[in-house]
């Protein structure tokens, strides 16, 4: 190999290459895909998913807003803990314990709501 001014830079860094592969139907697979309308079915499913996801997201947002609007918390301990942590009076483990207490209170507000039980049952597939 001929020496150039760039020779010292050759092989200094690993080269990353992206390989692109394409799946092509073989044999009667394309005929089956066309006959059964699988691509059109999947496109419709993808469109339906967008609509369903919007509906589900809106319901979850409504559920969260209604549960939290009915909840009442005294945030003094959390504020005090954050202030103490910023002043380095407590460590991150102590702040985490304070936060854990508040997360538990919030979780209890959700879990005692009847809608939460139905959402969990439908998520876990145990209705």
- For residue 84, what are the contacts with CB-CB under 8 A and spacing of at least 6? 90, 94, 95
Q: How confident is the model over 54-106, as pLDDT tens digits?
A: 999 999 999 999 999 999 999 999 999 999 999 999 999 999 999 999 999 99
Q: How many CB atoms lie within 10 A of CB 67?
A: 17
Q: CA of 28: how far to CAs of 11, 23, 121, in Å?
A: 47, 14, 42
pLDDT at residue 51 tops 60: yes
The span from the CA of 117 to the CA of 111, in Å, is 7
Predicted TM-score of the model (pTM): 0.59
Which band of pLDDT confidence, cut at 50, 70 and 90, is reported for residue 123?
A: confident
């Amino acid at each position: 190999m001929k020496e150039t001014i760039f020779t010292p830079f050759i092989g200094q860094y690993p080269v990353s290459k992206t390989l692109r592969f394409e799946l092509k139907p073989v044999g009667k697979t394309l005929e089956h895909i066309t006959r059964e309308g699988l691509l059109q079915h999947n496109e419709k499913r993808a469109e339906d998913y967008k609509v369903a996801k919007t509906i589900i997201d809106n319901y979850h947002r409504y559920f969260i807003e209604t549960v939290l609007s009915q909840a009442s918390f005294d945030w003094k301990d959390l504020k005090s803990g954050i202030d103490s942590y910023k002043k380095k009076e407590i460590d991150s483990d102590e702040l985490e314990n304070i936060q854990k207490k508040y997360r538990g209170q919030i979780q209890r507000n959700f879990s005692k709501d009847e809608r939460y039980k139905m959402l969990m049952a439908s998520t876990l597939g145990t209705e």
